[in-house]
A and B are shown apart, each in its own frame.
Chain A
């Protein structure tokens, strides 16, 4: 099992550009999440999904969009990138059941200049 994989690892965007952060998990988890982590801060939830075709907003969804067409993939779309979106982005997944923890991907470091 590869677990949770994210691409790219690093990216520099100019203000106003768009991009998609990819996230894939091979554990057949229903639940997937996108977090951002600013320097010296904890993780803030952007969007999450409880299954294919179902997504919901987290704490900081503005400026982002997601889709969940398959169980495995949960891409995060940034439209019109802004400097405030400079952050490290983590994707996570979780199995169903009360004893499962969240597994995190390695992260994508995004800089918007």
Chain B
């Protein structure tokens, strides 16, 4: 059975802190790992990771994938209150009728206090 597990489930930090969110996966026909940010509405896309060891970066956010150990991390440096959200990771299936099907983790709730 496909499974994506995120840790921690929740995290409370103060502005300026750096956080690391973890995502481990067991996904059949794995193709890529996606990260989304969700703020009381629909998830918005952050990163898609396909290759091991190549960091993707967007401002203060960065993410990397380890396909050998089956995990990914999302780093947020110099956190701001606007980073408060649920962060979701999802495993992407390749091939056949499962193409494009995402298996989501349960999410990490990040709260950033001023």
Contacts and interface: CB of A to CB of B under 8 A. Distances in A.
Interface in A66-84: none
Contacts of A35: 104
Contacts of A45: 101-103
B101 A58 contact: yes
B48 A43 contact: no
Given A33-B101, A42-B105, A99 B48 contact: yes
A42 B42 contact: no
Interface string A84-112: 00000010001000111111111100000
Nearest to B10: A40
A26 interface: no
Given A42-B88, A42-B106, A106 B42 contact: yes
A101 B45 contact: yes
B106 A41 contact: yes
Interface in A13-39: 31, 33, 35
Nearest to B105: A42
Contact of B32 (A48, A58, A98): A98
A52 interface: no
Nearest to B103: A45
Interface in B25-47: 31-32, 34, 41-45
A31 B97 CA distance: 10
A8 to B, nearest CB: 15
Interface in B99-113: 99-107, 109
A42 B103 CA distance: 9
Contacts of B42: 90, 104-107
B50 interface: yes
A54 B100 CA distance: 14
Interface of A: 31, 33, 35, 40-45, 48, 50, 54, 56, 58, 90, 94, 98-107
9 contacts: A40-B107, A41-B106, A42-B88, A42-B104, A43-B102, A90-B42, A98-B50, A101-B48, A106-B41
